[in-house]
Structure 1
Amino acid sequence: MPEAHFYNRGARRVQDTLDTRPLADHIANKYVTEHLDESAVEIVTGAPCFYLATADAHGFPDCSYKGGLPGFVHVASPERLCFPSYDGNGMFRSLGNILENPRVGMLFIDYEKPIKLRVNGTARVSTEDALLDAFPDADAVVEVRVRQVFENCPRYLHDMRCERYSAYVPRPHQTPPDPQWKLKPEYEGLVRLRNG
């Protein structure tokens, strides 16, 4: 991918100020792709979580943590991935932003290797049975058309190992417990309980 399509004018101004343009050009030309290669697929499908950046129609950003068991993000092809939207607090800020502005950024981190992988693309929200069937307990599925994929320098990642996966993450043949906040009297009649 030519660096001209990867960096905006602001990035170029900072690169020129800090004299990093040759390095930035080298990275863009050698490491930025428009698809998920074998290494990226391994990172994405092995991830128990990622961070999702969205923005509304006015460009105001939001960032959200998305978690599941490893494999909860599916790679349908090198240019397309999908992930579930599980039951949450009903705000749907990320999905709402995608409906208004489909551009998204995803950050996958493997703290043990360590690796940071960025995936940028265009998303759509689906409640189609064909997609939902692949994600038990999902309310919706987000499908991302990949635009840019690149690893990022991991040197500042701390050693943060996963001791255990959340009990609330959907699992085959198991109903997750209801979170304590949903059991408060103020939410009676406002939330869907699994065990109530």
Structure 2
Amino acid sequence: MQDLGTNLELIGERGLQAVYGSEERARRFYETQMLDHLNETMREFIDRQEMMFVGTADDGGNCDATFRAGPPGFVAVLDERQVAWPEYRGNGVMASLGNISTNQHAGLLFVDFQDSIGLHVNGRATIVERLEHPRLAVDPAPGRRPERWVLVDVHEAYIHCRKHIPRLVKVPHDRSWGTDNARSKGGDYFGAAGGPAPVAPPAARRRWWHRLAGG
């Protein structure tokens, strides 16, 4: 068995396609499903979405996956090669933005659980303090306004097949925007507060935190 972790010739998706014999299937996917921009159907799809998942990593490879949501169109399609989403007041950790500040690669996943289909959008993310564009949506929640924006230059856009996506039905749900009330935010649902002492941030994140703290 080959050691895939140390053989540099096998690193990356194309190398593993050769190892596992999926080159032909991958070639068909690249040629028929992957674009370097958002076509009209993709743009209309994003305009309808109320949620997305965001994947980022810092310059040391420490990863983070998170969730963003808002009214339909909260992720604004500025044109066929750029999208932007608002960043609101959160828990103050800045995990995603901290990653983007050191490594601009970002992966977005939109999943429509009613149509049972998904869309991947990968590209270069940039944090901008202010953004003006006629396609930016205004959040209807009273007083809820972006603190900043993330702008993404699209490099790849492709389908996520519906085969294993469940079909879900929306139900009414009250949201407590901007609250610091622990119960409204989920409380200590996973029992973290009663566990052992918190761990330090990953090494790469710690380095940047130390620098920002003046160390």
Q: Deviations over 1:126-164 (max 9, x none)?
A: 112636xx4561011000000000002220111223323
Which amino acid counterpart does residue 182 of structure 2 have in structure 1?
W
Q: Secondary structure at the match of 2:147?
A: strand
Aligned length: 169
In structure 2, the residue matched to 1:157 is 165
In structure 1, the residue matched to 2:96 is 94
Quote how far apart the aligned CAs of 1:81 are: 0.6
Contact 1:45 1:73 in 2 (8 A): yes
Instruction: Name the CA distance, whole Å, in 1 between partners of 2:149 and 2:165.
Output: 29
State TM-score, norm by structure 1.
Answer: 0.77
Q: Percent identity?
A: 27
Distance 1:14 1:166, change over 3 A: farther
Match of 2:33 among 21, 31, 34: 31
Contact 2:54 2:106 in 1 (8 A): yes
Residue pairs, 1:125-144, within 5 angstroms: 125-128=127-130, 130=132, 134=136, 137-144=145-152
Residue pairs, 1:4-153, within 5 angstroms: 9-128=11-130, 130=132, 134=136, 137-153=145-161
CA-atom RMSD in angstroms: 2.4
In structure 2, the residue matched to 1:181 is 182
Of Structure 1 and Structure 2, the greater strand share is in 1
In structure 2, the residue matched to 1:190 is none
Q: Secondary structure at the match of 2:153?
A: strand
Q: Which runs of 5+ in 2 are unaligned?
A: 1-9, 140-144, 186-215
Which amino acid counterpart does residue 46 of structure 1 have in structure 2?
R
Q: Deviations over 1:87-136 (max 9, x none)?
A: 111111101111111110000001121111000000101112636xx456
In structure 1, the residue matched to 2:205 is none
Instruction: Name the CA distance, whole Å, in 2 between partners of 1:165 and 1:78.
Output: 33
Task: Give the ranges of 4+ consecutive aligned residues of structure 1 lying more than 3 Å apart after TM superposition.
Answer: none
Contact 2:38 2:157 in 1 (8 A): yes
Instruction: Name the CA distance, whole Å, in 2 between partners of 1:44 and 1:183.
Output: 29
Which amino acid counterpart does residue 180 of structure 1 have in structure 2?
N
Instruction: Name the CA distance, whole Å, in 2 between partners of 1:140 and 1:124.
Output: 11
Contact 1:167 1:177 in 2 (8 A): no
State TM-score, norm by structure 2.
Answer: 0.71
Q: Which runs of 5+ in 1 are unaligned?
A: 1-7, 169-175, 185-196
Distance 1:183 1:159, change over 3 A: closer
